[in-house]
Structure 1
Amino acid sequence: MRLTLIAGDPDSNPNNSPTLYKTDRGSWVVQGWVINDADALATLNLPDGESAVEIPDRMIPFFFQEGRAADNV
């Protein structure tokens, strides 16, 4: 899998994490904060082989703004 950096959180220093990546497989990789809250994890009911991370609302526009550009590369 090849990753293309789309956007890092501009309000997060020093490494701009959370971060969004587009893959060469037509999918996204989202780097974010690990969810440790037991109630939230129970609500998610994650199957084996899956995990979830949290990202701030301010990252969502990057899926639409930068994502369209990444699809055309």
Structure 2
Amino acid sequence: MKLRFLGKNSTPGDSPTLYASDRDSYVVQGWKVYANDLLMRLDVPEGHAVVEVPTELFEHLSKDGLPSGRIKNFSDPITLVTGQGTCIVQGPEMHDPEALSQMSMPGYETCVEIPKSSLVALWEENDGPDHPRTT
């Protein structure tokens, strides 16, 4: 799988990153979610992972041709928005060696692959009211 870097929201030691793939999907790299209380609220199928990323990370979707806007409808694959301005993203955990070789990922992070259609369906370019599901 070939990846195209769209953007990242970083602070020292943290590197949530968004990529577009050549498989009509996005790869979302973020912090592994270990909080049992949160994981117990989610239905995480075998082979899937849950990552936490800043909501601003999805602003980089505009570099893939989406209109300027933001995520307005929080549902799978973006399952929750936290009170700290981050969101919880769930999807198949990335194991593709070619894709992983194109990334720099600390041990406390992982990445998930999300079909473009699933993420684009949550995107709205207008400035109507948000509908977040918060933790």
Cα distance, 1:67 vs. partner?
A: 2.1
Deviation at 1:59, TM superposition (A): 1.1
Q: Which consecutive unaligned segments of at least 5 residues does structure 2 have?
A: 67-135
Amino acid at match of 1:67: D
Partner of 1:60: 58
**Which structure 1 segments of 5+ residues have no match?**
none
Letter in 2 for 1:12: T
RMSD: 1.8
Deviations 1:5-63 (A, max 9, x none): 11011x4236x610001100000111101101112111121000100100012212112
Compare the two structures and name the one with the higher helix fraction: 1
Per the normalisation by structure 2, the TM-score is: 0.45
| Identity across matched positions, percent | 35
- Choose which of 34, 41, 44 in structure 2 pairs with 1:43: 41
Given the alignment, which residue of 19, 33, 53 partners 2:31? 33
How many pairs does the alignment contain?
A: 66
Give the counterpart letter for 2:11 in structure 1: S
Question: Greater strand percent: which structure?
Answer: 2
SS in 2 for 1:55: strand
TM-score, length of structure 1 as denominator length = 0.78
Matched position secondary structure for 1:44:
coil
